[in-house]
Amino acid sequence: MLRSMPSVVPGPGDEAELLARASVLAGATLGELAPRVGLTAPPDLRHAKGFVGQLLERVLGASAGSLSQPDFPALGVELKSLPVNARGRPCESTFVCHIPLTEIGSVEWDEQ
């Protein structure tokens, strides 16, 4: 069962704590999570791009905001969210990668 949380949730101490926090969210609706951190879920997410990611950042204790660094800087972890259907399958393609431009010529890319 989800408990009420403060509006500002402190960052997790390590990856295990972050994973435990995320696991507790399984099955919760956005409407249940939002009030726990002082937010209101919009009635239509098609007109609220970014709300889900921002909500998850607050609930999980991310601290980077819009800075160009991982969402959980102390852990080096970036949070990504994507929409899923009723079966839990992604509704869109998502690609995540990062490479400093100064290193682009010296990195070998895996092909799979």
Euclidean distance between CA atoms 70 and 33, whole angstroms? 23
* CA 27 – CA 100 distance, rounded (Å): 37
Tens-digit pLDDT profile for residues 50-98: 899 999 999 999 988 777 788 999 999 989 888 888 888 888 887 777 7
pTM above 0.85, yes or no: no
Q: In the block, which residue shows the tokens 């989800």?
A: 2
Tell me the pLDDT band of 46, cut-offs 50, 70 and 90: confident
pLDDT tens per residue across span 74-84: 999 989 888 88
Model pLDDT, residue 7:
54
Domain ranges of the chain: 15-79
What pLDDT does 97 receive? 73
Angle, helix 15-24 to helix 51-60, in steps of 10 degrees: 120
Q: Looking at the predicted structure, is the pLDDT value of residue 35 above 80?
A: yes
Residue 1 has pLDDT above 50, yes or no: no
